[in-house]
Amino acid sequence: MVSVPASGTTPFTRSIEDAARAGRRVGTTLVGPAVLVVIAVNILPAFFGFYSSLRKIFFFGDEGFAGLDNFRSLFADPLTWEAIGRSLIFTFGALALAVPLALLAALAVRELGARGRILLTILLVPWAMSPIVVALLWKWILLPSPGGLFASILATFGMPPANLLSNPTWAMPTVIAVAVWRTFAFAAIILTAGLGQIPKDLYKAAAVDGLTAMERFSRITVPLLAPSILIVLSMLTISYFNEVQVIIGLTSGGPIHSTTTLAYQLYLTGFVELDQGRGNAIAVVMFLINLVLIVGYVQLLGNKKGGEG
Amino acid sequence: MAGTGSRLIDRRSALKGGLAAGVAMPFIARSGFAQGAGTVRIWTFMSAEGQSPREKVFKTLIDEFEAKNKVKVVVEPQPFQELETKFVAAVAQKRAPDLVWLRDTFLSLVVDRKGLADLNEVLTPDFKRDALPDMFEVFTQKSVFDGKRVSLPIWPSPAQIIFYRKDTLREIGLDAPPLAWETFTDAAAKLTKGDRIGFGLPTSDNSVSAFINIMSGFGPEIFDKTTGRLNLTGPQAIETANVVRALVAKGAVSKTLLNAMGDDIQDQFAAGRFAMAQAFAPRFQQYQKIAAGYDPKELAVSAWPSFGGRPPAVLLGPYWTVGLAATSQNKEAAAAFLESLYTPAASMRWAKDAGLIPDRRSVMKDPWFEKPEAAVTRNFYELLSGKGAFVFPQRVPDITKIFSVLNTSLQEIIGTDEKVEVILARAKTTLNW
């Protein structure tokens, strides 16, 4: 009498299932600690932040459930809408400056070879510096008095000092420029790696076909670099949208709120005014805006890959 | 019965023993720590290893206390802006230090979070009898909440005061800044010359407000006695705003400093950019040392000008106080260390070596204060003792918000042509007052 396994499995299939189970166990074991860390460091604080946004918390004193009051008062305040607007101006203004600069730097690095790598190393120095140190450094450079470096340079041309950080019109462009100075080299690294993936044969073939340098750039470099550019865009968007240290160090959100972004508003409300309930409400709003932007980029990236496929 | 009797005796013995222990406990505790009991942890903005004059004195006092009492004093320096928040969080987590430096403006908030012990229960009778009455009452009284003394003020100071250069004042025929706003604005305007600006005002700070300092020229009544609020749309606030506008119109205050922090103004003052500036009084010595572009001996201090013939204003605060954590497990030793910071000898040392105003007023009788090097300390002492000296009320609503809101208003007053009434009304709305 031949015994047939009740489940219809054979020793062979069982061994495959066992191997798969063992594989899953190894996978779970390997990924487990990372998941636990993410839960402990990201997920739980995020939930706590959301929970806190629904409570009235001031100076570490929880005064009870507030429902959506923090959000209502936040959106009823015109300063919030202005701060959201300034965050978007800061983010996209910085992107508009940083990405072309990073692309230029990456192209220069590729063209210069070994010397290009030295250039990239030099460009990376600001990125390695603490943002608050960068801010203080630029504050000194831009000091509108005889002690300031920029003022001294202007003085050699017989020009008066420029009050960039004290001028409500110029403060935001100045803060954007400093933020870009600090971060564009990071984007340049990613784009340099992306450029390295483009087969050189394509350029040779294009040259044989008589394409100009500009045409090679627009028809080969840009399309093939698009995934890297999208990665850069998404990473810098999050970075710029959440940028606060450069603003704290340079302008403290002023003059007259002209550099008060949502991130600075969060710092001011949560850490200076110690209105932690409302501060967490701002954090939730920032998270949602970040989420929308990321989803947008992921869609773009997905479509791009799909298109290529 | 015998058994009952023995139980009674045991109970009596136990009661007597307990009573005796209870009576003796405070003395045992004091003498106990003197034999070397535990560690006193301190949170302050100073480091025990720091090299500023104030830190050196602090270190000396710690060393002396440790040698005398065999108690270890551990200083855990914290960023000064975070002392109160970190302390409240630490109290909740039962890991607070024994002693903490706090700004007076935050006292009520920390008291509300039940973070501070009642010092009346741990200070020695000698200290209460000799030291407390010898300190500036305007400061010591602010630390008493509902009969509980929650902290001791340290280094009485006018906080934000006017630093000026005597050499620049001499240029316009004055020895010191005028002490009435009507004449001060004209003098400040005359002091603006070339790259030098007459008067430097910080306009971007989260714990200092030049607007409140100017308004203090109206005296303590600027704070409502019941609510502790400033009347931001009242005639005094409007006149204050008009004074600022006049300073700008006359060129005494520059629009180019629309976004200057207190430190920026003080650093630029040290570099010679201003003839006069709002500055943090305890840093006077430091600014004498880093003065560039002028003789440090020309540096001097002044009270704020006043309005309508009132006494020159000295708004005392924010200033430092030292509190004992409610959760401290070593209250006796911590209180003993606290007391050691206020002995006449310690006060003398703070004054002589660190240029601070002595906490104990009696030490001002020391002949050292007659010497030229003590002239500034004497000057500060006179400012504190003046009729125009007053502190922020114990409870100022929205104290964490008011400075940034009023600094934005100040920026608007300096940098725009908008009506001051509209600007101040907006500040009031922002504060929900």
Question: How many Å apart are CA A302 and CA B187, to the nearest integer?
Answer: 68
pLDDT over 90 percentage in chain B? 69
For A171, name the nearest residue in chain B, comparing CA atoms only.
B259
Which tens digit of pLDDT belongs to each residue from A185-242?
999 999 999 999 999 899 999 989 999 989 999 999 999 999 899 899 999 999 999 9
Query: Has residue A258 got a pLDDT over 90?
Result: yes
Compute the average pLDDT of residues B162-189.
Answer: 96
Which tens digit of pLDDT belongs to each residue from B280-307?
887 887 888 888 878 888 999 999 999 9
Question: Does A166 touch chain B if contact means CB atoms closer than 8 Å?
Answer: yes
Compute the average pLDDT of residues B235-250.
Answer: 97
Reported confidence tier of residue A8, pLDDT bands at 50, 70, 90? low
Q: What domains are there in chain B, each with its CATH number?
A: 36-153+319-381 (3.40.190.10), 160-315+393-430 (3.40.190.10)
Query: Has residue B206 got a pLDDT over 50?
Result: yes
One-letter amino acid for residue A32 of the chain: G
Q: Specify the DSSP class assigned to residue B357.
A: P
Query: Has residue A1 got a pLDDT over 50?
Result: no
Question: How many Å apart are CA B242 and CA B235, to the nearest integer?
Answer: 10
* Candidate from A143, A252, A256 with C-beta closest to B261: A252
A269 CB-near residues (< 8 Å, 6+ apart): A275, A278, A279, A282
Question: How many Å apart are CA B228 and CA B203, to the nearest integer?
Answer: 23
B341, B154 in Cβ contact below 8 A? yes
Which positions in chain B have a beta carbon within 8 angstroms of at least one beta carbon in chain A?
85, 88-89, 92, 109, 112-113, 195, 203-206, 255-261, 264, 268, 271, 273, 398, 400-401, 404, 407-408, 411-412, 415-416, 430
DSSP string of chain A, one letter each residue: -----TTS--HHHHHHHHHHHHHHHHHHHHHHHHHHHHIIIIIHHHHHHHHHHTEEEETTEEEEE-TTHHHHHHHHSHHHHHHHHHHHHHHHHHHHHHHHHHHHHHHHHHHHTHHHHHHHHHHHHHHHS-HHHHHHHHHHHT-SSTTSHHHHHHHHTTPPPP-TTT-TTTHHHHHHHHHHHHHHHHHHHHHHHHHHTS-HHHHHHHHHTT--HHHHIIIIIHHHHHHHHHHHHHHHHHHHHT--HHHHHHTTT-STTTT--HHHHHHIIIIIS-BHHHHHHHHHHHHHHHHHHHHHHHHHHHHHHHHH-
Contacts of A273 in chain B (CB under 8 A): 398, 400-401, 404
SS3 of residue B276 by DSSP: strand
B201, B163 in Cβ contact below 8 A? no
pTM: 0.85
| The pLDDT of residue B330 | 93
Query: Has residue B237 got a pLDDT over 50?
Result: yes
Question: How many Å apart are CA A133 and CA A136, to the nearest integer?
Answer: 5
Question: Does A162 touch chain B if contact means CB atoms closer than 8 Å?
Answer: no
Label the pairing between strands B314-316 and B389-391. parallel
Token couple for B380: 């500060």
Question: How many Å apart are CA A176 and CA A247, to the nearest integer?
Answer: 9
| The pLDDT of residue A304 | 60
Residue ranges in B253-343 assigned as alpha helix (H): 262-270, 284-290, 331-340
A254 to B408: CB separation less than 8 angstroms, yes or no: yes
| The pLDDT of residue B24 | 43
Query: Has residue B14 got a pLDDT over 50?
Result: no
* Candidate from B404, B412, B416 with C-beta closest to A272: B404
Question: How many Å apart are CA B303 and CA B312, to the nearest integer?
Answer: 6
Reported confidence tier of residue B19, pLDDT bands at 50, 70, 90? very low
Question: How many Å apart are CA B398 and CA B148, to the nearest integer?
Answer: 23
| The pLDDT of residue A116 | 85
Residue with tokens 């045409």: A215
B259 to A165: CB separation less than 8 angstroms, yes or no: yes
Query: Has residue B7 got a pLDDT over 70?
Result: no
Query: Has residue B350 got a pLDDT over 90?
Result: yes
Label the pairing between strands A55-58 and A61-65. antiparallel
| The pLDDT of residue A9 | 66
CA dihedral for A46, A49, A53, A54, sign (positive or negative): positive
| The pLDDT of residue B33 | 53
Beta bridge partner(s), residue B102: B321
ipTM at complex level: 0.82
Q: In whole numbers, what is the pLDDT of chain B averaged over residues?
A: 89
One-letter amino acid for residue B310 of the chain: R
| The pLDDT of residue A243 | 96
- Using alpha carbons, select from B53, B142, B127 the residue that is nearest to residue B377: B53
| The pLDDT of residue A305 | 56
Compute the average pLDDT of residues A5-32.
Answer: 79
Question: How many Å apart are CA B376 and CA B362, to the nearest integer?
Answer: 17
| The pLDDT of residue A7 | 54
Residue with tokens 């949208």: A241
Compute the average pLDDT of residues A21-33.
Answer: 87
Compute the average pLDDT of residues A29-53.
Answer: 92
Peptide bond preceding B156: is omega within 30 degrees of 0, i.e. cis? no
* Cα angle B57, B59, B62; round to 5: 110
Contacts of A145 in chain B (CB under 8 A): 195, 268, 271, 273
- Using alpha carbons, select from A295, A309, A288, A175 the residue that is nearest to residue A230: A295
Name, of A143-157, B140-154, B381-395, the range with top average pLDDT: B140-154
Q: Which of A57, A59, A152, A276 to mutate to test the interface with B (most CBs of B within 10 A)?
A: A59
Token couple for B27: 């003395």
* Candidate from A139, A145, A272 with C-beta closest to B273: A145
| The pLDDT of residue B168 | 96
Label the pairing between strands B144-145 and B148-149. antiparallel
| The pLDDT of residue A3 | 52
SS3 of residue B31 by DSSP: helix
Residue of B101 and B379 predicted with greater confidence:
B101
> Residue A3 burial by CB count (10 A; 0-12/13-18/19+): exposed, middle or buried?
exposed
B401 to A273: CB separation less than 8 angstroms, yes or no: yes
B389, B141 in Cβ contact below 8 A? no
B197, B275 in Cβ contact below 8 A? yes
Least confident of A58-62, A264-268, B219-223, B412-416: A58-62
B74, B39 in Cβ contact below 8 A? yes
